[in-house]
Amino acid sequence: MTRPAHQSVTIVDVAEAAGVSKSTAGRALAGAAEVSARTRDNVVRVAAELGYRPNQVARSMITGTTETVGVVIPEMSNRFFSAALQSIARTIRKHDYELLVSSTEGEPALERRSVEVLSTKRVDGLIVAPVGGADADHLRRLTEIGTALVLLDRPAPKATSASLVSVNNIEASRLAVDHLIGLGHRHIGIISEARPDSAPAGATELEPTAHWPSTLRLAGYMRAMTDAGLTVRPGHIAHSAYSSAASYAAATRLLRATPPVTAIYCTDNVLSAGAFAALQDSGRDCPGEVSLIGFDDHEWAPLVRPRLTVVAQPTEVIGITAAEELLAAIADPTRQPATHLLPARLITRDSTAPPGRAAAGG
């Protein structure tokens, strides 16, 4: 298979017209110090006259940098990740970097492959939201060979020299649960991807760099309940797989719990949609009988009735911070890894209110 040349004027043409060797022309255009200013100016002028368009692949061979960063995320159509990606793209563009994106569909094997492929394309650094579950040796190796690495949203315990940028998940949960407790709720259900035993009693020892967001969010719920002197009931913790349908089922279980819950806290944007639909379909009045608080400020949160109260992640700031941390690590390979835990904020709308009629039976 042959392809037409991607450009009509090559570095060879420039070199000939400028009367220098191909390698000198290449170095001159890359601004290398060993080329005299006079030669460089001449080559640059000739290149401009000929309409030469620098070939990035060739330039990478000369400069050893690519002006490209890679981003590996589980799913491009997930609202949190697509918004973070947009924010990362804006930030790195300001620094004349481009973005190479790969999605892993939540599959550890695809993540290993994505990291490997991006790494062989010689990106200057990577932002990865790890799939987890499997080993993270591929991420540790990446930092060992000197590739700058920033973890987005999720930790990778083995990649100790990577930075981490995420919301402060424990505090985000406390915001949500304290809001409900402040309204007078005592029987608060939670829908969580984490299993109850993943956030043990010693929840105070949980480290954001070692635990999954869902585990930290569950731990935050437990802490807020315990600190308020409320009982954490296993029957009020509904485990849900990461899908709207699973969350629908989990919310339906919670609505039948004994003692009855007067409020439900959903710990993720995908889970919030399923729980909202389940509450609508149950015929229970929200917030009259059951309050609902979601995670992430989705487009639909102010469109539904009642408008949804949520704990919002600072998605844009998370993207900016991850991008800036990565660019700093690229610029200074000796930079120490940092952990940025950004504050969530509560957006109070109409789906949360003091417990009403149903509470009397609780």
Pairing of strands 345-347, 309-312: antiparallel
Burial category of 9 from C-beta neighbours within 10 Å (exposed 0-12, middle 13-18, buried 19 and up): middle
Residue 346 CB, shortest distance to a second copy, in Å, is 21
Residues 258-317 that bind a second copy (CB under 8 A): 273, 276-277, 280, 298-300, 302-305
349 binds a second copy (CB under 8 A): no
Q: Measured between alpha carbons, how far is 100 from 60 in angstroms, rounded to an integer? A: 15
12 binds a second copy (CB under 8 A): no
Beta bridge partners of 72: 102, 128
| Sheet bearing 188-192, strands edge to edge | 237-239, 188-192, 263-266, 291-295, 309-312, 345-347
Q: Can you tell me which of 49, 98, 135, 137 binds a second copy, judged by CB under 8 A?
A: 98
Residues 127-186 that bind a second copy (CB under 8 A): 145-147
Residues 14-43 that bind a second copy (CB under 8 A): none
Stretch in the footprint of a second copy (CB under 8 A) among 92-100, 127-135, 250-258, 343-351: 92-100
Residue 241 CB, shortest distance to a second copy, in Å, is 17
Q: Cβ of 334: how many Cβ atoms within 10 Å?
A: 5
Phi-psi region of 139 (alpha: psi -120 to 50; beta: other; left: phi over 0): alpha
The count of residues interacting with a second copy (CB under 8 A) is 64
**Residues with Cβ < 8 Å from 57, sequence gap 6 or more?**
none
Nearer to a second copy, 90 or 256 (CB): 90
Residues that bind a second copy (CB under 8 A): 1-8, 53-58, 60-61, 64-66, 68, 75-77, 79, 82-83, 85-86, 89-90, 93, 98-103, 105, 110, 116-122, 124, 145-147, 273, 276-277, 280, 298-300, 302-305, 330-331, 333
